Structure 1
Amino acid sequence: MLALSDAQIGGWVASFLLPLFRIAALLMVMPVIGTQLVPVRVRMYLALAFTLVLMPVLPAMPQIDALSLQGWLWIGQEVLVGALLGFSLQLFFHAFVVAGQMIAMQMGLGFASMVDPANGISVAVLGQFLLMLVTLLFLAMNGHLVVFEVLAESFVTLPVGSGLLLDHYLAIAGRLGWVLGAGLLLALPAITALLVVNIAFGVMTRAAPQLNIFAIGFPLTLVLGLVIVWLGMADILAQYQDLAREALLWLRELAQVR
């Protein structure tokens, strides 16, 4: 009869549960997979499958009692590590949402909002359009595979139980300013062109005061704004590649992957 000790059972459970919580936390938070469009049950199945695939190549896990206080603390650390890695990707995606919000407000389309099915919040239509566009580009260029590769290597560079250093949390906080800067950089050409249009309407109002600028200014600004956005789509791929490269490199630095 096969006899197993509590230490052996705890070691086996820990070798599966600790990686599972890091992987599941990443899948619950990261864009595309971690949205409301993907059911929680499907995300859990993906986390279980990914853990089973990685288990044979993962480094040896610490032998702990999975139900002890130390075990719960280590589980909390793994959830935090996975959630922060996924949140760093969310910042990259929301840079495009911020750009869409800025352009929409400048062209008078800020009132046109819709419910984002991925996050369950109301956003500007232009921001939702850019979010869907960057999602398709992210999947088409295998960005999700790069994320899974970084996650697998993070078990070597950030062993289970090591957690994240204070520098990592400060880097996450500093990255919030990067989102606003990247969004402004994306929206700057369209905002500048719309500013020139608004200045032209101001000159027209001074030259012809009897002209009802509100009757023709708003629809014309809206149409010209859509034309400017359409022309700006010619350069969106190069902008996406630069920001995606920077975001994925920062993700590797956060996980200390070289």
Structure 2
Amino acid sequence: MLELSDAQIGGWVGSFMLPLFRIAALLMTMPIIGTQLVPVRVRLYLALAIAVVLVPTLPPMPQVDALDLRSIMLVGEQVLVGALLGFVLQLFFHAFVVAGQIISMQMGLGFAAMVDPTNGVSVPVLGQFYLMLVTLLFLAMNGHLVVFEVLAESFVTLPVGGGLLTNHHWEVAGKLGWVMGAGLLLALPAITALLVVNIAFGVMTRAAPQLNIFSIGFPLTLALGMVIVWIGMADILAQYQVLASDALQLLREMARAR
């Protein structure tokens, strides 16, 4: 008869369950996979599959009791680490959403909103277009594979039970404010061009007061805004590469303990 001791059960729990919680937390919070489009059960199965492949290559895990308070604290630590990594990726994707929303408001397209199927909220159509574009670019350039590589490295650079938030992590968290700045930089060319258009309409109104600026200016601003967005698509790949490099580098720094 096979008999298992508490130490053996605790070793198995620590070697498999603790990495599983970090992997599952990342998959539940990261873009693309962690959205409402992917059922929770599918995400859980994917986390189990990744854990089965990854666990044999990981360094030794701490021996814990399955029902001990320390094991619960370690589980909470792994969930927090995985959620932080997913949150960094969410900020990168939402930089493009912010840029699309800013441009939509400036060109008068803010009223055209649709339900975002990934988050379940209403967003401007242009913001949803930028989100779909950056999602396709992220998958086409194997960004998801880089994320899984960083996740595997995090078990070495930020081992289980090795402490969580240090001064290094707080410094990295202070860099997360680049999202709003990145969104403004993405939208800055379109905002500047639309500002020139609005100034031109203002000059026309002063020169010809009888001109109905509302009936003429609104459709022209909308049409010119679409042309400006179309022209700006020529440089979107270069902007994406810079922001993606910064986001993935920030992800590596977040997964590193110092």
Asked if TM exceeds 0.5, the reply is yes
Say yes or no: does 1:149 pair with 2:149.
Answer: yes
Alpha-carbon distance between aligned partners in 2 of 1:12 and 1:164, rounded to the nearest angstrom: 26
In the alignment, which residue of structure 1 is the partner of 2:68?
68
Deviations 1:157-194 (A, max 9, x none): 1010122324424532541x211100000000000000
- In structure 2, the partner of 1:42 is 42
Query: What corresponds to 1:6 in structure 2?
Result: 6
Amino acid of the residue matched to residue 98 of structure 2? Answer: V
Quick one: distance in 2 between partners of 1:189 and 1:249? 26
Distance 2:99 2:63 in 1: 48
Aligned to 1:29: 29
**Displacement of 1:34 after TM fit?**
0.3
Within 1, Cα distance between the matches of 2:174 and 2:120? 24
Q: Which residue of 2 aligns with 1:181?
A: 181
Cα deviation for residue 2 of structure 1 reads: 2.6
Match of 1:253 in 2: 253
Q: Distance in 2 between matches of 1:181 and 1:123?
A: 20
* Counterpart residue identity of residue 165, structure 1: T
Amino acid at match of 1:87: F
Secondary structure in 2 aligned to 1:2? coil
Partner of 1:221: 221
Q: How does 1:106-117 map to 2 (within 5 A)?
A: 106-117=106-117
CA contact (8 A) 1:205 1:211 kept: yes
Q: Is the 8 A contact 1:21 1:75 kept in 2?
A: yes
- Identical columns (%): 79
Which residue of structure 2 aligns with residue 95 of structure 1?
95
Residues 105-163 of structure 1: CA deviation (Å, up to 9, x unaligned): 00011111111000111111100000000000000000000000000010011010122
Rounded Cα–Cα distance in structure 2 between residues aligned with 1:11 and 1:69: 16
Deviation readout 1:1-36 (Å, 9 max, x if unpaired): 332211111111121110000000000000000000
Alignment check: 8 A CA contact 2:101 2:126 kept: yes
Q: Secondary structure of 1:161's match?
A: coil
Q: Which amino acid aligns with 1:39?
A: P
Please give the secondary structure, in 2, of the residue aligned with 1:81: helix
Q: Which residue of 2 aligns with 1:133?
A: 133
* Aligned twin of 1:165: 166
Question: 1:78 maps to which residue?
Answer: 78
Q: Give me the whole-angstrom Cα distance separating, in 2, the residues matched to 1:171 and 1:12.
A: 33
**8 Å contact kept, 2:99–2:183:** yes
Following superposition, the deviation at residue 88 of structure 1 comes to: 0.3
Structure 2: state its 5+ residue gaps.
none
Query: Would you say the 8 A contact 2:172–2:250 is kept in 1?
Result: no
Contact 1:88 1:172 (C-alpha < 8 Å) held by counterparts = no
How many residue pairs get matched? Answer: 256
Contact 1:157 1:255 (8 Å CA) reproduced: yes
Distance 1:251 1:113, change over 3 A: same
**Aligned-partner Cα distance in 1 for 2:128–2:66:** 43
Contact 1:28 1:35 in 2 (8 A): yes
Q: Name the residue aligned to 1:58.
A: 58
SS of corresponding position for 1:122: strand
- Output the amino acid matched with 1:212: N
Q: Does the 8 Å CA contact 2:96/2:131 hold for their aligned counterparts? A: yes
How far apart are the structure 1 equivalents of 2:166 and 2:40? 29
In structure 1, what is the equivalent of residue 234 of structure 2?
234
**Structure-2 change in CA distance of 1:173 and 1:111 (3 Å):** farther
Q: TM-score, normalised by structure 1?
A: 0.97
TM norm structure 2: 0.97
Partner of 1:123: 123
